[in-house]
Structure 1
Amino acid sequence: MTNRALNILRIAMLSLMLLSICLLLWQHFGMTRVLRIDGQQDSKLFSPIDDRSLGGKSIAQLEQANQATIVKCALDATAYQWPFCEASLRLAAPPAGVDLSEFDTMALDVRLVSPGNKKLRIYLRNYEPEFSNLTDPLSLKVNELEVVVPDDGKIVIPLRFFRVATWWVDEKNIPFLLTDMKLNNVPQVEIATPGQVVSGNYQIEIRSIEFRGKWISLINLLLGIVIAWMLFGFIWLLLELLAYRERFHLKRAQMSELEQINRVLEIQAQVLSNKAQIDPLTGVLNREGLRDFLLLQWHDDLPSEAGLSVVFVDLDFFKRINDQYGHAVGDEVLKQFALLVGREIRHADALVRWGGEEFLVVSPGLPQLAASALAEKIRAIVEAASWPEGMRVTCSCGVATRVPGEQFSALIERADQALYRAKGGGRNRVELG
């Protein structure tokens, strides 16, 4: 990765870090959304409800005064088991409703005049199509909470404190899986007298109701920040991979170039090695080449039981050829001899120039009888071949086959002795050692 790209990524990381901090601070200290119902300006949204429709005798009335909506209730606790008066706030017309799940708290500014305790019940009624219907107002799910009204009337309630009323669940026979608290579709809010009341005059003065929350919840904000960082990390990783790929291809090209150089050097070394192992005149192995041939055949060790035959070949009266026709013609004879023998031996065999006009045929795994036949074949081919200047050339051969445990030097010595007997016996013949 270039320094410029790295600097850009560093600046982007620093910017993303500052943005994350700013968003978290804004979410904590600001980013507030408020749904406000004013007791005076929104008084038309309120309506009184009492227990007379259920057989009670309590009477609830609404008034507007002191910049508030006031519920005046003459509560009779004798005619109905659960007497009540309440102010019903209509947020929407069912089946529509307001999604209060996007808010965190409910803030009330209320005053309560009561002959009994200073408590109010608050209902958040949620419309759910699984059981709610438009003909039965009581079919709206009842999420309730009872609170104590302080002297200043300021109440802040976390919405998570609301619970589904068990009396409503029992009365409506709601399935257990549908009894969870939901505030995602609230058309109606009710502020009512508490559960335990005495007969008398009650007055609930509602100045304002606010639902407060964040435009973006902390969980969603954190999720967005995590996604942004993951995206940034992915981009960084992608750029790193691209840079690594570029470096990899560069290294690969360099390695390829080095391999080519190494191959050239290896070829040159092989050529030099071959030159050190091959007789430059005849192109067959020299003594050093024979050593490597044996090591290659038996992997650095000559087994004591390894079968091996050698044929020692010497060109008869070669010194006369050099003296009569010159060394150049003698060299041509040596080269032609190497070609003739090389065609007749096996691929596994080795032809070695032992020195001067002496050659050695090394045949791994060849028994003595076959080695003798090979020597006779070489002798006959040499005698029958056409040679430079029309001369006649013959050769003498000594054959030896390795016995178990015999050293290679001893094997060569036996073949040399057999060659000596062949030359002493008149030349142009084969002797076994």
Structure 2
Amino acid sequence: MFFKANFKVLVLLVLLTFSALALHRFGFLGTSLSLLENRSSDLFRSVSTSSVIGDLTKKGDHTVLKCHLESTEGFNLCGLSVDLRDGLGRGIDIRHYDELDLELLYSGSFADPKIKVSFRNFHSNYSSLKDPISMKFNTIIFSAEKYSGVLTVPLDAFRVESWWIDQYDIDFKDS
């Protein structure tokens, strides 16, 4: 009788384990966090360099960035900065997440345009609140023509920018 009860409990635990694994595999037990929900609209900034003019507008629930490139010479950058800090130097803890969904719509007339997405994080080993560039740059770059709509990017696809490692002489354990 004791063996029979233990066997039933064991079978039940095995079934629950496989059920939980299957539910997780098919996304039913996933954890998500909306980075933009309940945040003010002033967290968006346009970032541009040299011969690029960025125009940032709000259209309904979407933020739209239009970039006008005046010259193709040299290094040109037009981008969107989203400040997700809860306070000075305090960001969002993303340790329990493994992917990021980006909703993208790109149009342009350049051959093989690239989109660059960077996370920057603060750590007392290498960052200074007086120097915003000292926050680590974790980046992915991909072809804008290949992706439209929602793109799911694994967080482990992001890489630390080599120029940042060189500029701040960062040891490999912090990069």
Query: Is TM > 0.5 for Structure 1 vs Structure 2?
Result: yes
Can you give the 5+ residue segments of structure 2 that lack an aligned partner in the other structure? Answer: none
Partner of 2:55: 61
TM-score (norm 1): 0.36
Say which structure is richer in helix. 1
Matched-pair contact (CA < 8 Å) for 1:71–1:87: yes
2:7 paired with 1:10: yes
Residue matched to 2:66:
72
- 1:66-104 deviation line (CA, Å, top 9, x unaligned): 64101122334578x432121111111342111223222
Residue 141 (structure 1) shift: 0.3
- The sequence identity of aligned pairs, in percent, is 26
Residue 91 of structure 1 pairs with residue 84 of structure 2? yes
Q: SS where residue 99 of structure 1 aligns?
A: coil
Structure 1 position 14, deviation (Å): 1.6
Q: CA deviation at 1:151?
A: 6.0
In structure 1, the residue corresponding to 2:95 is in which secondary structure?
Answer: helix
Q: How far apart, CA to CA, are the structure 2 residues paired with 1:27 and 1:120? A: 31
* Aligned alpha-carbon RMSD (Å): 2.4
Residue of structure 2 in register with 1:327 after alignment: none
TM-score of the superposed pair, with normalisation by structure 2? 0.84
Q: Shift in Å at residue 177 of structure 1?
A: 2.5
Report the residue type matching 1:36 in the other structure.
S
Give the letter aligned to residue 157 of structure 2: F
SS in 2 for 1:114: coil
Unaligned runs of at least 5 residues, structure 1: 180-433
Relative to its length, the structure with more strand (as a share) is: 2
Cα offset, 1:36, TM superposition: 2.1
> Is 1:20 matched with 2:5?
no
Cα deviation, residue 42, structure 1:
5.9
1:158 to 151, 154, 161: 154
Provide the rounded CA distance (Å) in 2 between the counterparts of 1:156 and 1:119: 17
Within the alignment, does 1:114 sit opposite 2:113 as a pair? no
Query: Post-superposition shift, 1:164?
Result: 0.6
Question: Which amino acid is 1:32 matched to?
Answer: G
Q: Specify the SS of the correspondent of 1:113.
A: coil
Larger Rg: 1
**1:368 — aligned with what?**
none
How much has 1:13 moved relative to structure 2? Answer: 1.0
Contact 1:61 1:71 in 2 (8 A): yes
Secondary structure in 2 aligned to 1:14?
Answer: helix
Contact 2:106 2:148 in 1 (8 A): no
Residue 128 of structure 2: SS of its match in structure 1? coil
Q: Post-superposition shift, 1:146?
A: 0.6
SS in 2 for 1:33: coil
